[in-house]
Amino acid sequence: MAETKSEFILETVNVTKQFGGLTAVKDLSIQVPQKSIYSVIGPNGAGKTTFFNCITGFYKVTEGDIILDGESIVGLRPDIIVKKGISRTYQNIRLFQNLTALENVMVGHHPRMKAGWFGAVFNTPGTRREEAETRKLAMDLLEFVGLKGYEYELATNLPYGQQRRLEIARALASEPKLLLLDEPTAGMNPSETEEMTEFIDNLRKELGITVLLIEHDMRVVMTISDIITVLDYGQKIAEGKPEEVRANPRVIEAYLGRGAATQHEAQAA
Amino acid sequence: MDKELKFTWSDILKYGAIAGVVAIYVILVGMVEAFNERYIISETVNLGQIALFAPVFLLGYFAANTARQIKSAGFAILASALVGLVGGAFVAALLFLGTHVNLREVFLNVSPELLGILHLGQEAMMGAIVVNLIVGAVVGFFGGLFALAPHKWSNALLVGLSIVLLMGVMQELMSITFGNKDWYKPIGKFIYAQKGLSWGGAILFLVLGVGYSLWRSSGKFRPAARVAKMPTKQRLSISLAAWALGLLILLALPRFLGSYPSEILTTVGIYIIMGLGLNIVVGFAGLLDLGYVAFFAIGAYTVGILTSTGKLATVGWSFWMALPVAVFLAMLAGVILGIPVLKMRGDYLAIVTLGFGEIIRVVVLSDWLKPFIGGAQGILQIPKPQIGEFVFKKPEQMYYIVLAGILLVGYVAWRLRDARVGRAWKALREDEDVAEAMGIHLVSTKLMAFATGAAFAGLAGAIFAAKLGSIFPHSFNLIVSINVLSLIIVGGIGSLPGVVVGALILVGLPELLREFADFRMLFYGALLVAMMLVKPEGFVPEKTHARELSEKEPLAPGIEPETPARETI
C-alpha cells in the first residue's frame, strides 16, 4: 500500500452529478494530499454525501473525472473501487446488524481475500491460513478501535458510539489508502465527539492513511483538518486551511445567513 | 397495542366469540369428525375433541394473559372460564341449530355422526348443551391457569403434553415398527390401550416430559456448558464421540424401524436436502426464491430421462452416472434463472421466481416435450440405484442414499456458512448496497447462492426420481416450494439444524396422521401464523438470531444497548 504515484491521493476534476433536473454536485474539483485529513463541510443538503457516493461509485457521475493515486476510477463498480483502496462509513450507521462485530470486520476484509466456493468446502490449507489471518486482523482492528471483548456481540446490540467505531473498523479492514468518513460524530455527545476526534487523528498517525471527512461539527473540523472545502448548493464556495475558512464571509453566510455574516464582519472590525 | 390497556366484560364476550367461531370453523370443515377416531388417551380423549376445544383453551389463555396485566389473578381466571363458557355456548348453539335445521344443504360436513360427537356422550339435547358449556368453561379455565402459572411450570406442562400427544399419535407407527419385537410387547402393552395411550402410559409420558423440562430449566442440565469448560483435547474427543454416536444411530435406524418408518424418513430426508439448499438462497443470502421446485424437477427429470428403461428410454445410464449430470444441470439452471433477477429485490424477486417455477411445470406438462418426458403420463421405469450387485430397492436401503445426500449437502452448507462466501451472503442479506461498498461482487455472490441452492435441489430431485421409480409433473407443484420455504421458517431461517427440525415437523408429522391430509394447508397456515406471532425466530434459531431476540443474555456487564440520542448543531 505504501507506494505513492501522485502527490494527491484523490483528485476530482469538475465532478457534476445531476438527478433529473436537480444538480446535486456541480463542477466540484478537490485535491486531497497524501496522508492528510481533508474535510468537506456545508449546510444540510449541500451535496456532501452525494459527492461521497460519487467517489465510491455508488452513483455514476454525470460529468467529470475522479482520480485515485493517479488512476481514473470514474465509472467503476463500488466493489472494484474498494479494491483500489477507498472505503467508507455512513452518516446513518449501516452495519450488518445481525452479524457479530467480528463478522462485520471480517466482511470488510473481503476484497483482500481470495478463497472461493471450493476452497471453503474442501477447507484447503490456503483457505484456512487466509481465514486465520483475516480473523487475526479483525481482532486487532477491533482492539484498535476499542471494541476488544465485544467480538461476538451482534452489531445491533452495541451502543451507538461503539457502532460508529465498529463501522470504522469494518472500513479499515479493506486496507484502504483513503478512508471516507461521513459525519462520524453525528449524534454524539461532546465527550464522545472529542474522543472520536482524537481517534480520527490517530488513524492518520498510526495507520498512515488519508482521511476524507464530512462533518457537521465545526469544532471537530477546525481541530483536525489540514484542508477544508466548503460546499453550498453543490458548489464549492470556499477552500483552504481551517483559519482561512473560518474567516470567510461566504462560509458564515452559508451557515448562518446573510445577517450573521455582516454582523461577524462588524465584530471583526 | 398502543391503546390503553383495559379488559372489560365486553372483551370477555369478544374473546369467547372468537373461540366459538374458530371452533365452529374447525367443526364445519370436518376436522372434528375426521380426527374423532384418533384416540390419544384410551377411550377418553381423542384428537377430534382436542381440535374442538383447542380454540377455547387458547383464547382462555390469551384472555387471562391480557386480563392479569390490569386486574387481579382471580379476575383473570374467572375471565378465562367465562371466555370458555361463551365458546362452549357457540358450539352448543351449532349443535342445537344442526339438530333442528338441515344445515347439510350448505355445510356438507354437518352429518348426524358429527352432531353425535358434539353431544359429548349425552343423550338428551339439554344435557348435551349443559355439558358443552361446562366443558368449555373448564377448558377455558385451564387455559387461564396456564397463562397464570409460572413460566417454568407452564413450559414444563407444555413439553409434557406435547410428548403425550406425540406418543398418542405414534401408536400405529410404533406397533407397525416394533409390534413383532419381543422386547417391545410388554412395553407396548403398558403404554398403549386398544386405542390411544393407556392411562398409565399417558401419566408416564406426562411425568417424563414435565420432569425433563423442569430439570433443564433448573440449570443443572447443561452438557454443552460442561463440555465447554473442559480442556481442548478432551472437548474434541467428546464432540467426536458424540458425532460418531449420532452417525451410528442414524446408520442403524432403518434396521430397527423397518419399512414404513424408513419410507417416511426418506421423504423427510429429501425435504431436508432441499431445505438445506433453499436455506442458502433464502436464509443466508436473503434472496426470496419461490420457484425452487423448478430445480428439484430438473434434477428428477434428468435422472428420469437418462436412466429410464421404459417407453421413453434414451441412453439407459445408471443412477450414479446420471446423478452428477442432474446436479450439474440443476446448477446451470440456477445460474440461468439467476441472471435475469440479479437486479431485483424482495417482493419482485419472489414474484419472478414464482413465475419460473410455474414455467418449468407448464413446460414439463406441454405437448411439445411429450415425446421426451411423457407429458402428464410422466416417466416410468426409472431403475433403482445399484452398487455392484446390491440394489437399493427397499425404503430401508434408499434411506442410506438419502442420508449420504444429507450429510454431503449439510457438510457443504456448514463449511460455506462461516467462510468468506457465507459471510458475503449474509452481508448481502443484511444490506445489499453496503455489501457492494465493502467489496463484495454482487453478481457472482448472488449467482453462487442460486447455483448452490439449485444444485442441492437437483440432488434431491435425482434421489426422489430413483426412490419413486416414476415421476409425474404433478409432483413438482408450487406447493413443494412453499413446503420447503415453510419448513425453513418453522425451523429457524438460516439455521442448519432448524432445517432438520422443520422438515420433521412439516413433512414427518403429517405422514403420521393420514386423516390429516385434507387439512394440511390449514395446519400449515395456522402454524406459520402462530410461529410468526410467538416464535418468529423458529424452533432452532440461527445462533446470532437467537442472541438478538432473547433478552436473557445481557451484554458485557454494565452496558446496555441504547438508542442514539440525536442532536445536530
ipTM of the complex: 0.91
Element at B218 (helix H, strand E): none
Mean pLDDT of chain A: 90
Task: Give the tens place of pLDDT for each residue, A35-90.
Answer: 999 999 988 888 999 999 999 999 999 999 999 999 999 999 999 999 999 999 99
Q: Report residue A9: phi and psi, to 5°.
A: -70, -35
Q: Which residue has the higher pLDDT, B560 or B172?
A: B172
> Is B438 in Cβ contact with A82 (below 8 Å)?
yes
What are the b/e assignments for A64-94, b being 16+ CB within 10 Å? bebbbbeeebbebebbebbbbbbbbbbbebb
pLDDT of residue B393: 87
Q: Which B residues 423-452 touch A at CB under 8 Å?
A: 423-424, 426-427, 430-431, 433-442, 448, 452
Q: Which of B173-182, B198-207, B398-407, B542-551 is the most confident on average?
A: B398-407
Task: Give the tens place of pLDDT for each residue, A11-27.
Answer: 999 999 999 889 999 99
- Sorted by where each starts, the structural domains of chain A and their CATH numbers stand as 1-85+176-242 (3.40.50.300), 97-170 (no CATH)
Q: Which of B147-151, B315-319, B340-344, B542-546 has the lowest mean pLDDT?
A: B542-546
Q: Which of B322, B175, B337, B333 is nearest to B257 (CA)?
A: B175
Task: Calculate mean pLDDT across residues B525-530.
Answer: 86
Cβ-Cβ contacts under 8 Å, A82 against chain B: 437-439
pLDDT of residue B405: 96
The CA-based diameter of chain B, rounded to the nearest angstrom, is 82
pLDDT of residue B561: 40
Mutate which of B411, B447, B544 to disrupt the A interface (most A C-beta within 10 Å)?
B544
A71-72, strands of its sheet edge to edge = A22-33, A8-19, A63-68, A71-72
The answer for A88, left when phi > 0, alpha when psi is -120 to 50, beta otherwise, is beta
The band of B555, judged by pLDDT with boundaries at 50, 70 and 90, is very low
**B551 has pLDDT over 60:** no
Selecting from B422, B430, B547 the residue whose C-beta is nearest the C-beta of A97 gives B430
Task: Calculate mean pLDDT across residues B374-396.
Answer: 88
Task: Calculate mean pLDDT across residues A118-136.
Answer: 93
Cβ-Cβ contacts under 8 Å, B564 against chain A: 160, 187
Q: Which of A201-215, A248-262, B153-167, B475-489 has the lowest mean pLDDT?
A: A248-262
pLDDT of residue B229: 72
pLDDT of residue A208: 87
Least CA distance to A183: which residue of chain B?
A: B568
pLDDT of residue B5: 61
The band of B424, judged by pLDDT with boundaries at 50, 70 and 90, is very high
The rounded distance, in Å, linking the Cα atoms of B60 and B40 is: 22
Task: Calculate mean pLDDT across residues B425-438.
Answer: 94
Task: Give the tens place of pLDDT for each residue, A137-167.
Answer: 999 999 999 999 999 999 999 999 899 999 9
Instruction: Say if B548 is an interface residue toward chain A (CB within 8 Å).
Output: yes
Can you say whether the dihedral through the CA atoms of A89, A95, A100, A104 is positive or negative? negative
pLDDT of residue B158: 87
3-state secondary structure of A101: helix
Cβ-Cβ contacts under 8 Å, B551 against chain A: none
Task: Give the tens place of pLDDT for each residue, B432-449.
Answer: 999 999 999 999 999 999
Which CA distances in Å does B115 have to A80, B57, B234? 72, 21, 64
Scan for cell 462466501, then name that residue: B421
The band of B4, judged by pLDDT with boundaries at 50, 70 and 90, is low
- Alpha-carbon distance A176 to nearest alpha carbon in chain B (angstroms): 11
A120 contacts B416 by C-beta, under 8 angstroms:
yes
Task: Give the tens place of pLDDT for each residue, B462-519.
Answer: 999 999 999 999 999 898 999 999 999 999 999 999 999 999 989 988 887 776 778 8
The band of B566, judged by pLDDT with boundaries at 50, 70 and 90, is very low
pLDDT of residue B193: 85
- Alpha-carbon distance A98 to nearest alpha carbon in chain B (angstroms): 7
The three three-digit cell numbers of residue A251, written as one number: 462560509
pLDDT of residue B295: 96
Task: Give the tens place of pLDDT for each residue, B271-312.
Answer: 999 999 999 999 999 999 999 999 999 999 999 999 998 888
Contacting residues for A104 by C-beta, under 8 A, at least 6 apart: A95, A96, A155, A166, A169, A170
Cβ-Cβ contacts under 8 Å, A116 against chain B: 420-421
**B554 has pLDDT over 50:** no
The rounded distance, in Å, linking the Cα atoms of A215 and B568 is: 11
Element at A182 (helix H, strand E): strand A178-182
Kindly state the percentage of chain B with pLDDT values over 70.
92
3-state secondary structure of B499: helix
Q: Which of A216-225, B221-230, B544-553 is the most confident on average?
A: A216-225
**A220 has pLDDT over 70:** yes
Mean pLDDT of chain B: 86
The band of B189, judged by pLDDT with boundaries at 50, 70 and 90, is confident
3-state secondary structure of B263: helix
Selecting from B427, B439, B452 the residue whose C-beta is nearest the C-beta of A174 gives B439
Task: Give the tens place of pLDDT for each residue, A160-190.
Answer: 989 999 999 999 999 999 999 999 998 888 9
Task: Calculate mean pLDDT across residues B21-41.
Answer: 88
Cβ-Cβ contacts under 8 Å, A184 against chain B: none
> Is B442 in Cβ contact with A87 (below 8 Å)?
no
Task: Calculate mean pLDDT across residues B365-394.
Answer: 88
**B547 has pLDDT over 80:** no
- Alpha-carbon distance A5 to nearest alpha carbon in chain B (angstroms): 23
Selecting from B423, B435, B437 the residue whose C-beta is nearest the C-beta of A88 gives B437
- Alpha-carbon distance A154 to nearest alpha carbon in chain B (angstroms): 7
Q: Which residue has the higher pLDDT, B182 or B321?
A: B321
Task: Calculate mean pLDDT across residues B58-87.
Answer: 88
